[in-house]
């Protein structure tokens, strides 16, 4: 039981557990008495692969096709789509490592991609910030409308994401889970603030919603979608993981852990589908 507890404390650092016990047991063997959520998680990952990859490619195609009439936030949406495509490629390796192999070399690869996914709220925050400035500070937005500024920000975000993923790949950094928690909570608070600020400005634009400027309506919908994604997909890990000590190691590993990250990872499909739902497909 001591070994079980120690290993379970490393779950957040590795995003997925390496093993619950010593020896060559796979994760599935460790959870053989309660495999329901693990099977649900793997099924969701493959749905994510078959649904998320074409959806994100469609987003890339639409952005390329409509680049003459694109939004200033499209550069961040494009980067997020590329990140999600890369993440959606890993389910076969993940299935093999969880069910059959559980080799350390594969976990290094998986943790790197998990780290990239953990950092995806940074691009969501950039999208939200772009819409916030466009609505709340239109003069500043006009001055900074040059896309080179956004290209530079996107490059900086990619550097942060790759650095975070590399650190997560190591898998033995003490208290590394606090970085993820702080990042998600900060992004969530930022989204809420932007959403409320944009709503307030829209309410001031006319006595009825129909009199709002179309650009402002689009900005509000964009921020509202991002907020919904954060609440549904990214908030469960933050809400559940601080209470890890309230669960037994087996329950946390086999139920809570994969439930929370399953919802978070599925955002790779939800994000492009919501984007496509508000775009006019030819």
The DSSP-derived string for 161-194 is: HHHHHHHHHH---TTTHHHHHHHHHHHHHHHHHH
Report the alpha-carbon distance of residue 13 to residue 174 in Å, rounded: 8
pLDDT digits (tens, 9 = 90+) for 206-228: 555 455 566 666 766 767 777 77
Report the alpha-carbon distance of residue 15 to residue 113 in Å, rounded: 10
Q: What is the model's pLDDT at position 22?
A: 40
The DSSP-derived string for 50-84 is: HHHHHHHHHHHHHHHHTGGG--TTHHHHHHHHHHH
CB atoms within 10 A of CB 159: 10
Per the structure block, which two tokens stand in for 262? Answer: 């399953």
Per the structure block, which two tokens stand in for 67? Answer: 């680049």
Per the structure block, which two tokens stand in for 99? Answer: 């069910």
* Superfamily designation of domain 35-274: Rhodopsin 7-helix transmembrane proteins (1.20.1070.10)
Do the Cβ atoms of 226 and 191 come closer than 8 Å?
yes
Per the structure block, which two tokens stand in for 80? Answer: 């997020």
Query: What are the residue boundaries of the structural domains of the chain, listed by start?
Result: 35-274
Identify the H or E element spanning 13.
Answer: helix 11-14
pLDDT along the chain (282 residues), means of 10: 33 43 67 85 93 94 80 88 94 88 79 91 88 85 78 93 91 78 83 81 61 65 74 80 77 84 90 80 52
Q: What is the model's pLDDT at position 19?
A: 41
pTM of the full structure? 0.82
The DSSP-derived string for 228-253 is: HHIIIIIHHHHHHGGGGGGS-HHHII
Do the Cβ atoms of 10 and 3 come closer than 8 Å?
no
């Amino acid at each position: 039981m001591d070994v079980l507890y120690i290993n379970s404390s490393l779950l957040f650092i590795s995003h997925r557990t390496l093993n619950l016990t010593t020896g060559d047991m796979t994760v599935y063997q460790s959870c053989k008495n309660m495999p329901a959520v693990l099977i649900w998680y793997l099924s969701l990952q493959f749905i994510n692969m078959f649904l998320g990859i074409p959806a994100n490619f469609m987003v890339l195609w639409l952005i390329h096709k409509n680049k003459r009439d694109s939004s200033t936030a499209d550069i961040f949406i494009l980067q997020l789509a590329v990140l999600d495509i890369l993440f959606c490629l890993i389910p076969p390796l993940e299935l093999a490592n969880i069910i059959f192999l559980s080799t350390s070399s594969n976990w290094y690869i998986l943790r790197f991609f998990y780290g990239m996914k953990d950092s995806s709220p940074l691009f969501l925050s950039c999208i939200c910030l772009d819409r916030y400035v466009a609505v709340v500070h239109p003069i500043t937005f006009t001055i900074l409308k040059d896309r080179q500024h956004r290209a530079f920000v996107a490059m900086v975000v990619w550097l942060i994401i790759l650095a975070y993923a590399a650190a997560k790949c190591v898998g033995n950094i003490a208290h590394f889970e606090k970085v993820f928690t702080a990042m998600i909570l900060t992004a969530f608070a930022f989204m809420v603030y932007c959403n409320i600020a944009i709503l307030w400005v829209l309410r001031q634009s006319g006595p009825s919603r129909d009199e709002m400027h179309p650009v402002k309506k689009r900005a509000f919908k964009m921020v509202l979608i991002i907020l919904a994604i954060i609440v549904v997909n990214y908030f469960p890990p933050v809400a559940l993981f601080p209470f890890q000590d309230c669960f037994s190691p087996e329950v946390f590993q086999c139920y809570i852990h994969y439930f929370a990250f399953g919802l978070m990872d599925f955002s790779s499909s939800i994000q492009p589908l919501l984007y496509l739902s508000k775009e006019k497909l030819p």
